[in-house]
Chain A
Amino acid sequence: DPKIIQKPKYLVAVTGSEKILICEQYLGHNAMYWYRQSAKKPLEFMFSYSYQKLMDNQTASSRFQPQSSKKNHLDLQITALKPDDSATYFCASSQDGTGGAETLYFGSGTRLTVL
């Protein structure tokens, strides 16, 4: 059974619209992340949360907003979608986000296409 669930698996949106990508993890981890993968940037870090607090944000645009309603949830809201936002978005989790030698576990991804 998948331990990190991402929904939906595929998503098609029109330019200017807003979408929410869902991520739930059942590994008992305290840290969660979002990464983006596209042809231009293979695995790009976006956000990290530890104990539901934002730890790091490498996303320049405020159109991307993570939302953590529960300890094991980290959704990603994207507003005013652009074709350049088309990518696969991976959610990941790790034990507590303090660094050292933590292993990140990745979900299966949401492939977003913006027309």
Chain B
Amino acid sequence: QQQVRQSPQSLTVWEGETAILNCSYEDSTFDYFPWYHQFPGESPALLIAIRPVSNKKEDGRFTIFFNKREKKFSLHIADSQPGDSATYFCAAMDNAGAKLTFGGGTRLTVRP
């Protein structure tokens, strides 16, 4: 069964620090790796995504680092803000369909 593993389950950082969220996968058919964030009481929403042709994708303060050989990818949130506090889910999709397999989530808390 396709799996995506995510760590840590929860993470607390101070405002201004860089938060690092990690994910790994097993299935080599995965070829699209998005990160979604979810604020309390809301639905998940796409934050940033990467395809394996790249090993890095940046969008403002958010950066994905991708290591195809080790089947790992991470989300770095630079200059973390209290408004970034949310649950972050990594996910993976293969080219056989648009089903997203999600990791278990990381609850991020940014303290002012």
Contact = CB atoms under 8 A, between A and B. Distances in A.
Interface of A: 31, 33, 42-45, 48, 50, 55-56, 58, 90, 94-109
Majority secondary structure, A binding face: loop
B16 interface: no
Given A99-B97, A103-B46, 12 more contacts: A31-B98, A33-B98, A33-B99, A42-B104, A48-B99, A50-B98, A56-B99, A94-B98, A99-B99, A100-B93, A100-B95, A104-B46
Interface of B: 31-32, 34, 42-46, 49, 51, 87, 89, 91, 93-102, 104-105
A58 B91 CA distance: 16
Contacts of B99: 33, 45, 48, 55-56, 58, 99
A16 B43 CA distance: 28
B27 to A, nearest CB: 13
